[in-house]
Every structure is written in C-alpha cells, then in structure tokens.
Amino acid sequence: MSASALTAADRTALKEVVAEKVGNVCGANVASVCTSSDVNVIVFRRAVTVSYSVAVYSAAAASSGAQAISLVSTGAMTSAIQAKTTNLASALVTAVRSTTMTPEPTTPAEDAGSAGGDSFLVIIIVVAVVLLFIIAGIACFVLRRQSGNARGESLATVWKEAEASAEPRKDAPSAPSVQIEMGVQPTSAETRFNDPAMSQVNDQVLNAPGAWDWFITHMQTEASTLAEGIYHEFRNRGLRVWLDVKMPERDEAAMREGILKSAKVLVIITVSYFTRPYCIKELRWARDAGKDIVVCIDVKDKQRIGEILCTAPEDLKSLGNINFIDMNRGDTDYFQVGIKKLLEANPKKLDYELRPAHS
C-alpha cells in the first residue's frame, strides 16, 4: 500500500484505535482518556511502515500505556481498525506496537506525491536563501565600486598635491643639515626620535579620557596620602589627573600612555623614590617626551633633598635643577598654599646636559 493510498480517514482510524487501547495515560495526572489528538502517526518513505506514538506526561504513564497496548492481540487490533475503515485493515499485516504495510511498486510520481508538501517547502527555503546571497553579492559589488571610485579620486588628489609640493620653490630657503657626531651624548629631542618605545604611541586608549592635565608619579608606600590629597584638590578645580590608584589599567603601557598624554608631570620625591624601577621609568619617559615637570616634597623630607638626589641615576640627577615645592598634608592652610604653588609653578624640562643645583 503506497503512502498516497493512506487516506486521512485511515490515519484518523489508526489514531482512534491506539487511543482506545493505550488506556488512561494522557492526562497531566494520568487520569484522563487518550484521544486521537494525543496520537501521532508517521508514514515512512515508500509506505513500508506506519508508526505511531502517544503523548503522555510522565515516565510512569508511558510504561503503563506500553504495557496496556502490548496486551492487545494482533487480531483484536486488526478488528478494531477494520471496524472503523476497511481500506487500512485490508492491507494490515501486523499490528502490535507499529503497523507494517506491504510495499507496492511505486512510481516516481507517487514518491513525489507522498512528500510533495515537504519538498515544496524545502524548495521555497532554498530559493529564498539563494536570492538573499545574490542580493547581498550585488550590494557588496555596488559598495565596492563606489568605494573604489572615491578612493581613486582621493588618491589622485593626494598624488597631485604630493607632486606639487615636491617641486622645488625658487623662493624657498634651503633646509639646514643636521649632523650627529659619534660619541656625543644625544639631546632629549634626538632620544625621543630614536627611541622605538617612545615613537610608537598606541592609538588605543587604555584609560579614559585618554588625555590629562597632570600625571602624578610617586612611590605609593611613602607618598600615597599626599598624592591622593593633591589628586582631589586638582580634580576639584576641574583638572584631569592621572593617578595610578584611580585608573582601571595600571600596567606599564597604561603608565606610559599617562605620561605621553599629559600636559604636565608632577614628581612627588620621597626618600626611596629612586629605588623604584617604575618611578625611574616614568621620570625618563617624561624627560624623553619633553614634558613640563614640577617637583614637590613632603615638608618632613625637605632637609634631605641632597641625600635623596644622591640616590638618583646619573641621567636623572638634573632633577635637582627644578625648584622643590614643600607640601604639608597635616596642615590645611599650609597644604592649600602648596597646591597654589604647584598650579602656579614654572615647570621645567629635564635634559641630559643639566646638572643638579642642590648639594
């Protein structure tokens, strides 16, 4: 019996018989009688097998239903189906938990008819996907053409401007030549140009906003209280301040970003400042970037400036040429005077040729 020969009435008859034989297992509490809507009939390809399944609500119900229908004999199942439709019962071979149909020779047309609805849906989906790909391809092609034309015009303009600027002007002064002698200590400007670490500035912003008015370099264990006090005073005046403990990112790249993208660098000198590798790095980055530097010191360490500078590396001893502003965090009025001096200080740049003025 082919799939096309299994009518809607045949399917309904099979569902009704199975629902009757399986028992009261279809309710949420395994109490209500099963109906044909609880039974699903599946006709396999070429109609070799007709299978059915029953929707139940628990494992106990499934076990009970399977036991009930297994007790139904083939003859009883066949008789029950025949009572509802002779078409299906006449082709029945066995009916225990699935109904096996005798396959008949089928034609391609019959096979197409048995799966016509599904095939048509698949064809529609495939055609829709292909059309989407075609539309997307056309859109990409158009966008590339437009982008290519715009790029071509832009490159042509740039090329013409480059050619025009490359032509020597008669009234243009000759560029001075620069010579660097071997064995001569380079200036800070030359160092900034030749240092790969300083010439490669990452465009990615590691800490917002990406630019600051002040960068505070200090040794945390000795100057954290003073640094945070200055930080809050500057912030209250609307200034953007980079302080490590206030930044989400604090690694070496973030510290270097803070130095390079700050207008001024405030150095809080303490007894052990020059023993910290990152303090020395920050000071060298500031020097090599030509940053304006202001220096302050806690009033209790003011008499030890010479001693502290003796611990500085040779290339950083020139920090002593900058005036040290003393700060007193314990005296509110004194501290406010110090803040005013910091903001009004005349900053200086470090250089290799400078030598410390402090003894």
The model's pLDDT over 122-169, given as tens digits with 9 standing for 90+, comes to 899 999 999 998 998 898 888 877 766 555 555 555 555 655 555 555
- pLDDT at position 158 is 53
Residue 279 domain-assigned (yes or no): yes
Q: From CA 283, how far away is CA 256, in angstroms rounded?
A: 10
Q: From CA 288, how far away is CA 44, in angstroms rounded?
A: 81
One domain for residues 199 and 336: yes
More confident residue, 204 or 90: 204
Nearest to 50 by CA among 82, 16, 91, 111: 91
One domain for residues 340 and 193: yes
Q: Is the pLDDT of residue 198 over 60?
A: no
**The last residue of a domain, from among 107, 129, 162:** 107
- pLDDT at position 352 is 65
One domain for residues 333 and 195: yes
Q: Is the pLDDT of residue 112 over 70?
A: no
Residue 127 domain-assigned (yes or no): no
- pLDDT at position 83 is 78
The stretches of the chain forming alpha helices (DSSP H) are 8-22, 59-70, 74-84, 86-90, 108-114, 116-166, 188-194, 196-199, 220-236, 252-260, 277-288, 305-310, 332-344
Most confident option among 69-73, 160-164, 189-193, 230-234: 230-234
Q: Is the pLDDT of residue 117 over 60?
A: no
The mean-pLDDT minimum among 56-65, 115-124, 153-162, 349-358 falls in 153-162
Q: From CA 359, how far away is CA 348, in angstroms rounded?
A: 19
One domain for residues 194 and 335: yes
Q: Is the pLDDT of residue 359 over 50?
A: no
Count how many Cα atoms sit within 13 Å of the Cα of residue 46 in the half-sphere of its side chain: 8
| The residue count for the chain | 359
Residue 351 domain-assigned (yes or no): no
Beta strands 212-217 and 262-269, pairing class: parallel
Q: Which residue reads 């920050």 in tokens?
A: 282
Most confident option among 86-95, 109-118, 135-144, 316-325: 316-325
Q: Is the pLDDT of residue 233 over 90?
A: yes
One domain for residues 194 and 334: yes
More confident residue, 277 or 163: 277
Q: From CA 1, how far away is CA 5, in angstroms rounded?
A: 6
Nearest to 356 by CA among 327, 326, 325, 314: 314
- The mean pLDDT of 314-328, rounded to a whole number, is 94
One domain for residues 193 and 331: yes
Range of the domain at 264: 189-344
Most confident option among 18-27, 112-121, 234-243: 234-243
Q: Which residue reads 């045949």 in tokens?
A: 10
For the beta carbon of residue 250, count every other beta carbon within 10 angstroms: 16
Q: Is the pLDDT of residue 200 over 70?
A: no
Q: From CA 116, how far away is CA 186, in angstroms rounded?
A: 85
The mean-pLDDT minimum among 51-55, 147-151, 242-246 falls in 147-151
With H, G, I as helix, E, B as strand and everything else as coil, classify residue 340: helix
Cα–Cα separations (whole angstroms), residue 216 to 84, 212, 271:
93, 11, 17
One domain for residues 210 and 306: yes
- pLDDT at position 86 is 63
N-term to C-term CA, the chain: 112
Residue 138 domain-assigned (yes or no): no
**The last residue of a domain, from among 88, 107, 126:** 107
CATH of the domain at 331: 3.40.50.10140
**Each residue's pLDDT tens digit, 5-30:** 667 777 788 788 887 887 777 776 66
Q: Is the pLDDT of residue 281 over 60?
A: yes
Cβ 254 vs Cβ 247: under 8 Å: yes
Counted domains in the chain: 2
- The mean pLDDT of 324-336, rounded to a whole number, is 95
Q: From CA 216, how far away is CA 231, in angstroms rounded?
A: 8
- pLDDT at position 66 is 78
Beta strands 212-217 and 241-242, pairing class: parallel
Nearest to 82 by CA among 140, 127, 16, 175: 16
Q: Is the pLDDT of residue 107 over 50?
A: no
The beta-strand segments (E) located in 47-191 are 49-54, 92-95, 99-101
Q: Phi/psi at 182 (nearest 5 deg)?
A: -65, 140
- pLDDT at position 242 is 98
One domain for residues 325 and 234: yes
**The last residue of a domain, from among 107, 126, 141:** 107
Residue 327 domain-assigned (yes or no): yes
Q: From CA 247, how far away is CA 241, in angstroms rounded?
A: 10
Q: Which residue reads 């270097």 in tokens?
A: 256
More confident residue, 325 or 191: 325
More confident residue, 13 or 215: 215
Q: Is the pTM of this model over 0.85?
A: no
